[in-house]
Structure formats: structure tokens, C-alpha cells
Structure 1
Amino acid sequence: MKAVELYAGAGGLAMGVGLAGFKPLAVVEWDRWACDTIRENQRRGFPLVADWPLYEGDVRKFDWSSIEDDVDLLAGGPPCQPFSMGGKHQAHDDTRDMFPATVDIVRKLRPKAFIVENVKGLTRSTFANYYQYILLQLEFPEVPAKRNEEWFDHLLRLQVERTSGRQKGRKLTYNVVPTLVNAADYGVPQKRERVFIVGFRSDLAVDWSFPRPTHSFDQLLRDQWVSGEYWERHGVARRNRPTMAASMEARVRRLASSLPFAEELPWRTVRDAIAGLPSPSSRAANHYSDHRLQPGARVYPGHTGSPLDLPAKTLKAGDHGVPGGENMLVNTDGSVRYFSIRESARIQTFPDGFIFHGSWTETMRQLGNAVPVALGHAVARSVAEKLATVQLEKLSRQRGSVRGAA
């Protein structure tokens, strides 16, 4: 199956898409540092990116007519700053709002499916109308804005399109499923809430729902405070284990008296993520790429770091550099330090063999903007399975028609 990747950044979502079996026809990213990261890994022969046809530039300037193959999947995370809690919250008035460009590319390429990822802030009440506008544009890409038409007027036309029933006569419409997810529920060692907007072309008649969570906080609490398997797995002696928070006691008692869901795994923690890595200040850290101590970490109001035995707080790129609190580890003795680049990459589920290009601040920006590879893989795999099922059903019908004609 063939895919096109927009706003690729350092390649987190694109790697997840590749692991799901899609081959890239184009990987587009405008940021030079992120492109240098991909090119450096291609130069080193890193297999997940080796065959990527990388284009450094604006998606609006790419010659989409050069994509002659049928596109099975269009995937990408438009810049999140217009909607991010840490951004300027200007939405449609922000020049970095690339949702209109994304819809335009959907209209040109007519992919069988698309995956669009963005920050939780997109769903805030402040952006309610604009969020609906985005969803309706993706549902009806053949109803573009008219010349000089304001976005709200276009929204009203799209609402009429939805309620009038005229969409049945449209050649290109999509069944769109938006979902707010926590990456920790899918095995990512990070509490990272993101919106995924997944659409399938209506003519495929696909029934799809977002993949069920595979990991849970309750199962982590069982592992830590009921069975103790978590501490045993990490070789933490009883005398060195932290004290359970008083606020968790009633919940743990309830969990101890109930049966777990057999299919659930525990949330992965920072300790899980960085297991096997030496301290970034040690000499042994020299044997690992991108694993050096960055000095200067400190706690201040609203920036208290990530406890070792929980999933990390959301890694952030920051509007003016790296916000230290979110990208900082809190040890069990209360001491704090910045995550190294390699530790941050593990928290974002990038493979250890993948290295990053640029300064610490620039690299952390790439990581903070990335889609966790494991989460991208979970979503893309679900989409791939559905598209493969549709293709198999189509082939079966064709064989039945041939046999019937014979």
C-alpha cells in the first residue's frame, strides 16, 4: 500500500505508518533541521527511513500532479501552534494553520484514507466552530471555499451540505472519525493527549472505529502496589521503593479485590522507558548516541517534572525554546535533571538507532513536535487492516463474477 506523509517533522508518524506496511510516495517537511535528521539517518542506512523520498519545502509548493500512483493513505500532523496550550491560540488567524492546505491536498490526491493528528487544544470550546469547520472540510473536500469567502461563511455552507443530503451526489466524500486519545493508553511511556482525525473514502463503505486502548493506569497500580511485579522487574528492593500516595490507597484496595482485564497491560513509565541506559552524566553514556547531561534543570511553579514511576508528562517543543519542567526527570529522592535527547526519544518511542541532528534545544523541539512512533503505528496498522480487508473483499467479488460468467 502507498502513502504520502505531510508535515513529517523528525518522522515519528511516518515511521509508524511504514511499520504498518505502507510505502512512501512522498515525505514532505519544511523545517531544515528535521530534514537534516532524516537525511543523516538515511546516510547512515537506518532502515525505517532509507527509502523515503524526502522533499524539503512547503506542502503548498509541492507538485502533487507528480504523484501518479493511487494513494492509499495520506498522513500528517499540521503545525499545532495555532491550537496548542503553549502557543498563541490564533487558530485560523495564524499563518501556520495548514488545515486548509491539507484539505486541498486531500482533494487533489483522493486518498482511500487519511490520518490527521493534532493537539488536544484543537477541541477546546474556544475553537469549537473552527474544529467543526475542519471536520466538515475533510468530509466534503470537493466543496472548497469561494474566492474571498470568510471561513465562517464557508462553515455555514458546509453545514447545509451535510444536512441537505446533496453529499450523496458528490464524487469525493469521506466518513470522518475524530478521537481524543492518551498515548499512555497505547503503550507510550508518556501522558500525551492528542486528537486523531481519521477518514475513509465514502465509496469504500468502511466501518471503522479507533483501536481499543491496550494499556491502563489501573493495571500499573496493580503491578506496583498489589502484586509488586513492577518493582521486582526493575530490581528495586523493598527498602528503596517509594511510598504509595495517600490519594491512591482507596483505589488500590478496590483493585486488589477485583479481577484485572486480561488483555490490559500496565501503563509504561519513565523507568520502563529508560531502563538499561546509564546516567547521562556517567562515562558509560558515551556509548549511546544523543545521551549527554544538559545542565540547568530546576523546579518552578507549573513546571515540576516527570516522576520516575509514572508515564512522563507531555514532552513539549515550546514556543520560545525548551520548557524545562515538562522535559525534566524527578528522581525518587526528589532531585531533578533534564531528560537527555536519547531518553526523550525513548519516551517518544523512537528506536535507539535513530539519531537527531541539531543543538539540544533544536532536537528537543523536533521531539516535542513528534507523534510517538508506537502510537502512529497503532493507528496506521488499524487503517491498513481495514484497507486490506476492503481490497480482499473486492478481489473476492471479482472472482465470483468471473466464475458466474463462466
Structure 2
Amino acid sequence: MDAIDLFAGFGGLSTGARMAGIRIVWAANHWPEAVKWHSANHPHTEHICQDLHQADWSLVPAHDLLLVSPCCQGHSKTQGKTNRNPQHDASRSTAWAVVSAAEYHRPSFAIVENVPEFLQWELYPSWSVAMQALGYSLSPHIVYCADLGVPQNRVRMFIVCSRSKAPMYLELPRYEHMSAASFINLDVGKWSLIERNGRAKATLERVKNGREQYGDRFLMSYYGNTKSGRDINRPIGTITTRDCWAIIDGDRMRMLTADENMLAMTFPRDYLRPDNHRLTVNMAGNAVPPVAMSRIIKAVRSQT
């Protein structure tokens, strides 16, 4: 089965599809840096760096599966999803590329990934009607990625669009939860003493509360309104596009390494990435966990 990947980014969708035995024949993104690293990891895929609002779909290879992860910032409640905000409105408009691509090629399936708030978008009814007019039945799934074997508490929406009379509701198996400890290496990283000059009072309070709940080794969100820690033997919280999670180990602490962020997202250990820590964290946090994508696709294939 051949697939194309719109908004390919760092390659979470493509990597997951490849794990499921799918060939990625074409991938697009508007950011040159993302295209560079997607190309490095998927050298047999044709790549284009372009704003897909201007795409010529006649130049795109034929395919059976359309994979799409439109920009989510305009929908996410953490970003405010403000109407009449030019940045958010432009972000939400990327979803129409799905309709445009599907209209030209009419692949058997399309899988659209986004945050659950996508379903509350005021134009979602119009978007879904447009897809239905092209002959697709839509089945939205709200997925807790930890249930698919991702060591992360990440909730996402996957819409399966199938050229069938009835929507395809997936029978997703539930996998054993993977702990954060499964990808954390205590022998690496830049550790610092917790009790040092300049440490924020709020950080020290989180550490104190975390110790009371979990002992001397646990995870802690370094930003936000959290007041304590998180059990290292559970999946980590959502990996974001910036450093967020700290590891507490006795009297020392550090942020997750770039490699640990990659593993929390379930990218393969040999996946090529930038040497720049911040860029890697940004790209990984903005991606789709490959293992989740792989298991979504396998469920689709098993029901066809």
C-alpha cells in the first residue's frame, strides 16, 4: 500500500506508517528544516517544501492512503484557539488541504490526526460535509496514546475517512502501559543540585511535594501550575515542543535529554535528528508518536 504524508514535519506519521508496512511515496512540509530531517530518515520518499494551499495535486504520485496532521495550534485550548486571530485562523485553514488532496486523488483511505478540539472547530461540520461529498465516511476516534503502547499520557484525535457506506470504527487493542522509566537513562544528561542558589521557590515546593508522594526519584513538570510530581513508573505526561519535564533523583535534577524526548515519542533509537537540543525537542514534541500511528494503521488494514 502506498501513502502520502501532508504536513510531514519530523516524520511521526511516516515512520509509523512504515512500521505498519506502508510505503511513503511523497511527503510535504512548508518548513525547510523539517523537510531536511524527514528526507534524511525517509530517503526513498519524494519530498516537496511548499505551502500546501498552493499545491498542484496533479504532480503528486497516486496513493491508497492519505496521512494528514494539520496544524493543531489553532484548535488547541492551550493555545487559546482565538477566532479572528490571523495566526490561529491560518492554522485552522490547513485542514482544507485534506479536502483538496482527496478531491483530486480519491484514495481509499485518509487518516487525519489532530487534538480532540478539532471536532469543536466551528467549521468542522462544513469540513466533514465536504469529505462526505467526496464519498468518504468519517469515524473520529479519541485515543489515549498510552493505551497503544506509547510511554506518554497524550490524548489525540484520529479521524478515519474511508470510501465505504458506513464509517469504520476501529477495534483498537489496549496495550500494557509503558513507564517513563523505560526510556530514562540516569547516567546521562546535565545534572544540577536541587538546593542551589537561584532555584525558584515554586520549583523547590514541587520537589518537596513530589518527594512526599513518590520518594527520591520521580518526574516533575518544570513549568505550569502543577504542585507536585509524577510517578516515574507511569507514562510521562504529554511531551511538548519545549523542555517541560524534569527528573528528580535524590539531591539532583535535570531536564529530559533530546534523546529521551525522542524515545518518549517512540521514534526509533537510530532515527536521525538535529544536534541542536531545542530544535529536536520542538520537532519531536510537534510530531505524532510513530507507534500510535502504526497501530492505528494496522487496525484499519485488519478491518478491510
Q: Mark yes or no: TM-score above 0.5.
A: yes
Does 1:102 find its partner at 2:25? no
Residues 109 and 334 of structure 1, relative CA distance in 2, 3 Å threshold: farther
The match for 2:131 is 138
Shift of 1:176: 0.6
The match for 1:209 is 169
Helix, strand or coil at the partner of 1:214: coil
The match for 1:367 is 284
Task: Output aligned runs, 1:310-389, within 5 Å.
Answer: 310-317=234-241, 322=242, 324=243, 327-331=244-248, 333=250, 336-357=253-274, 359-387=276-304
Q: For residues 174 and 76 of structure 2, what CA distance do their matches in structure 1 show?
A: 27
RMSD over equivalenced CA pairs, Å: 2.5
Task: Output aligned runs, 1:83-162, within 5 Å.
Answer: 83-90=75-82, 94-97=89-92, 98-124=94-120, 127=121, 129-140=122-133
Does 1:271 find its partner at 2:181? yes
Q: For residues 83 and 277 of structure 2, what CA distance do their matches in structure 1 show?
A: 29
Q: For residues 17 and 91 of structure 1, what CA distance do their matches in structure 2 show?
A: 34
Helix, strand or coil at the partner of 1:96: helix
- Opposite residue 194 of structure 1, the aligned amino acid is R
Asked if structure 2 preserves the Cα contact closer than 8 Å seen for 1:2 and 1:23, the reply is yes
More helix by share: 1
Shift of 1:305: 6.2
Shift of 1:135: 2.6
The range that moved more, 11-20 or 129-138, is 129-138
Shift of 1:385: 3.1
Does 1:75 find its partner at 2:67? yes
Task: Output aligned runs, 1:222-301, within 5 Å.
Answer: 265=176, 267-274=177-184, 278-281=187-190, 299-301=222-224
Asked if structure 2 preserves the Cα contact closer than 8 Å seen for 1:305 and 1:328, the reply is no
Q: For residues 27 and 77 of structure 1, what CA distance do their matches in structure 2 show?
A: 12
Shift of 1:207: 6.4
Asked if structure 1 preserves the Cα contact closer than 8 Å seen for 2:172 and 2:296, the reply is no
Shift of 1:108: 1.1
Shift of 1:32: 1.8
Does 1:61 find its partner at 2:23? no
Residues 20 and 10 of structure 1, relative CA distance in 2, 3 Å threshold: same
Q: For residues 95 and 68 of structure 1, what CA distance do their matches in structure 2 show?
A: 27
Asked if structure 2 preserves the Cα contact closer than 8 Å seen for 1:9 and 1:34, the reply is yes
- Opposite residue 233 of structure 2, the aligned amino acid is D
Structure 1: stretches of 5+ with no match in the other structure? 42-48, 141-171, 216-264, 283-295, 388-406
Q: For residues 91 and 366 of structure 1, what CA distance do their matches in structure 2 show?
A: 26
Q: For residues 365 and 51 of structure 1, what CA distance do their matches in structure 2 show?
A: 25
Q: For residues 7 and 184 of structure 1, what CA distance do their matches in structure 2 show?
A: 24
Provide the TM-score with structure 2 as the length reference: 0.80
The range that moved more, 87-96 or 14-23, is 87-96
Structure 2: stretches of 5+ with no match in the other structure? 192-198, 204-221
Residues 103 and 352 of structure 1, relative CA distance in 2, 3 Å threshold: same
Q: For residues 174 and 6 of structure 2, what CA distance do their matches in structure 1 show?
A: 27
Q: For residues 16 and 278 of structure 2, what CA distance do their matches in structure 1 show?
A: 24
Residues 199 and 300 of structure 1, relative CA distance in 2, 3 Å threshold: closer
Asked if structure 2 preserves the Cα contact closer than 8 Å seen for 1:17 and 1:377, the reply is yes
Can you list the C-alpha shifts for 1:15-35, whole angstroms capped at 9, x where unaligned? 111222221221111112212
Provide the TM-score with structure 1 as the length reference: 0.61
Q: For residues 337 and 349 of structure 1, what CA distance do their matches in structure 2 show?
A: 21
Residues 361 and 68 of structure 1, relative CA distance in 2, 3 Å threshold: closer
Can you list the C-alpha shifts for 1:167-202, whole angstroms capped at 9, x where unaligned? xxxxx3111100111100100000000010111113
- Opposite residue 78 of structure 1, the aligned amino acid is P
Can you list the C-alpha shifts for 1:208-235, whole angstroms capped at 9, x where unaligned? 32232423xxxxxxxxxxxxxxxxxxxx
Helix, strand or coil at the partner of 1:24: strand
Instruction: Name the count of aligned residue pairs.
Output: 272
The match for 1:13 is 13
- Opposite residue 175 of structure 1, the aligned amino acid is S
